[in-house]
Amino acid sequence: MTTTTKTAPPPAAPGTGGNVLHASGVTMRFGGLTAVRDVELTVDSGEIVGLIGPNGAGKTTFFNCLTGLYVPTEGTVSYKGKVLPPKSHLVTKAGVARTFQNIRLFANMTVLENVLVGRHTRTKEGLWSALLRGPGFRKAESDSEARAMELLEFTGLAAKRDHLARNLPYGEQRKLEIARALASEPGLLLLDEPTAGMNPQETQATQELVFAVRDQGIAVLVIEHDMRFIFNLCDRVAVLVQGEKIVEGTPEVVQSDDRVVAAYLGTPFEGEPGEAEAQEVAAAEAHHDTDTPAPAPVPDTTGGTDGTGGTASTTGTDDDTGPGGGTEGPAADQAGTTRAEEEGEKK
Ligand SMILES: Nc1ncnc2c1ncn2[C@@H]1O[C@H](COP(=O)(O)OP(=O)(O)OP(=O)(O)O)[C@@H](O)[C@H]1O
C-alpha cells in the first residue's frame, strides 16, 4: 500500500450531480427520543467526509439509517441517485459497505475466510451449485479467493491469511474489518470509529489505508472521535449535536466554529466569576494563609444578619464565621451559588 494525500476525485457518478450518497431529511425517533433530526448529508464521488459530535449525538444511529439497519422515521437515503431499500443486505448489494464501532469479525474463522464472507453479495452461485461443486462453482470460488487475497495484500494482511481472526492484534482486526467491507466491492465505505483504541502508529496506518481506499475510487464517510485524525483525513466534516447537524464545512471552517467548540467544551455562562472575583478569592486565601486580620466583609446582599453574608451560613457552621472563616464565605460562596443556579437553569 502506498501513502497518498488528498488528490483530485474520480469522475462523478452519472446522473447524480456527483453525489454518491444523499441523505435527505433523515429523522430517527425511539419512542419519545429523537436521536437524529432532519439531517441532510451528501458524500460526493472521491470524497472523504467526516461525521463528528459528542457522545450520544446520534452518529451511529444515523449510520444505521444509512445502511438499512434502521428504517428512518422520516427521510430518504439515496445511493447514486436511487433510494436505498431499508434492508442491510440490499444496501450492501447496492454498493454501500460499513464497519462497526465494536469489531464484528468471525473470531474463529481465518483472516481469509472472513474476507470471503464479505464477498457473498457478489457471488451468484447458489446452494445446489455449492453442494455439487461443479465447474462454475469452482471458478467462482477461485475468483473470490484471488480477490480476497488482493484485498489482504492491499490492507497488509496477506501474510496472516491463515491466522484465526481472534488471534490478530487489535489494529489488524480493524484492518480486517475494512478488508471484509471492501470485499463487497462498494462505491461508498462507512467507517464507524475506525481508530478507536488504536495507538498513534496504528492510527497513522489507518489514515494511509483510508486515503488508499479513496484513491481506488471509493467514497468514504467516517465517524471518529479523534479530531486530529478527522481533520487530517477529511475533505469535509459535518457536526452532529443532539441529533441535529449544526455545522458542515472544510476541516478549517469546522475547527474554528464557535458552535463546535461550545458543543465539545460547553459555553461560558453569564455571571461566571471574572477577574475581579478571582482576585478577591486570591486575596482572601492569601490573608487566610498568613493569619492576618480579615478585611472588611463583602456587604450582605442576601439578607443575612451575621455580617459574613447570608450565603456563608448555608454552607458552614458557626465556627466558619470567625474572623478568617467569615471572609472566606461571602465572595466564594456567592460565586458558587451563582454557578449552581446557572447550572440548574441549564439543566
Ligand atoms: N436502539 C435504540 N433505542 C433507544 N435509544 C437509542 C437506540 N440507539 C441509540 N439510542 C439513543 O440515541 C441517542 C444517540 O445515540 P448514538 O449511539 O447514535 O450516538 P453517537 O453519536 O453514536 O454516540 P457515541 O459517540 O457515544 O457512539 C442516544 O441518546 C442513545 O441512547
Question: Mutation test of ligand 1: which of 30, 34, 191 has the most ligand atoms closer than 8 Å to its C-beta?
Answer: 30
Question: If we measure between CA atoms, which residue out of 188, 234, 171, 193 comes closest to residue 5?
Answer: 234
Are 189 and 218 contacting, i.e. CB atoms less than 8 angstroms apart?
yes
Q: Atom 24, ligand 1: which residue's CA is nearest?
A: 55
pLDDT value for 282? 81
Give the sheet arrangement for strand 188-192, strand by strand: 96-98, 188-192, 219-223, 48-52, 236-241, 244-249
Q: Is the CB of 56 under 6 A from ligand 1?
A: yes
Protein residue closest via CA to atom 16 of ligand 1: 58
Say if residue 343's pLDDT is above 70: no
Q: What is the CA radius of gyration of the chain?
A: 29
Pocket test for ligand 1, best of 28, 34, 61 (most atoms within 8 A of CB): 61
Whole-number pLDDT of residue 298: 47
Q: What is the residue with the minimal CA distance to atom 2 of ligand 1?
A: 30
Pocket residue to mutate for ligand 1, from 28, 59, 224, most atoms within 8 A of Cβ? 59
| Average pLDDT over every residue of 174-186 | 95
Residue predicted with more confidence, 269 or 15: 269
Expressed in angstroms and rounded, the spacing between residue 56 Cα and the centre of ligand 1 is 5
pLDDT tens across 138-150, in order? 777 788 889 999 9
* pLDDT computed for residue 289 by the predictor: 64
Can you state the angle between helices 111-118 and 135-155, rounded to 10 degrees? 110
Q: Tell me, in angstroms, the distance from the centre of ligand 1 to residue 260's CA.
A: 19
Decide if pLDDT at 203 tops 70: yes
Mean pLDDT, residues 314-326 taken together: 35
Look at residue 254 in the predicted model and tell me its pLDDT. 94
The whole-number average pLDDT for the span 182-208 is: 94
ipTM metric:
0.96
Whether the per-residue pLDDT at 167 is higher than 90: the answer is yes
Q: Is 264 in the pocket of ligand 1 (CB under 6 A)?
A: no
**51 against 338, higher pLDDT:** 51
Report the pLDDT value the prediction gives residue 190, as an integer from 0 to 100: 97
> Within its chain, how far is the Cα of 102 from the centroid?
13
Question: What ligand 1 atom has the least distance to the C-alpha of 63?
Answer: 18
Query: What is the reported pLDDT for 144?
Result: 86
Of all protein residues, whose CA lies closest to atom 18 belonging to ligand 1? 58
**What CA–CA distance (Å, rounded) separates 171 from 173?**
5
Above 50 in pLDDT, residue 307?
A: no
Q: Which of 110, 106, 66, 103 is nearest to 88 (CA)?
A: 66
Percent of the chain with pLDDT over 90: 54
Residue 59 in contact with ligand 1 by CB distance below 6 A = yes
* Contact predicate 87/68, CB 8 Å: yes
61 lines ligand 1 (CB under 6 A): yes
pLDDT tens-place string over residues 32-90: 999 999 999 999 999 999 999 999 999 999 999 999 999 999 999 999 999 999 899 99
Q: By the 8 A CB rule, do 21 and 219 touch?
A: yes
Q: Kindly state the cell numbers that stand for 250.
A: 472544510
Cα(269) to centroid of ligand 1, in Å? 27
Of 236 and 8, more confident: 236
Q: What is the mean pLDDT of residues 276-291?
A: 75
pLDDT of residue 132: 61
Residue 305 has pLDDT above 50, yes or no: no
Q: If you take atom 26 of ligand 1, which residue's CA is the nearest one?
A: 55
Rounded to 5 degrees, φ, ψ at 238 are: -115, 145
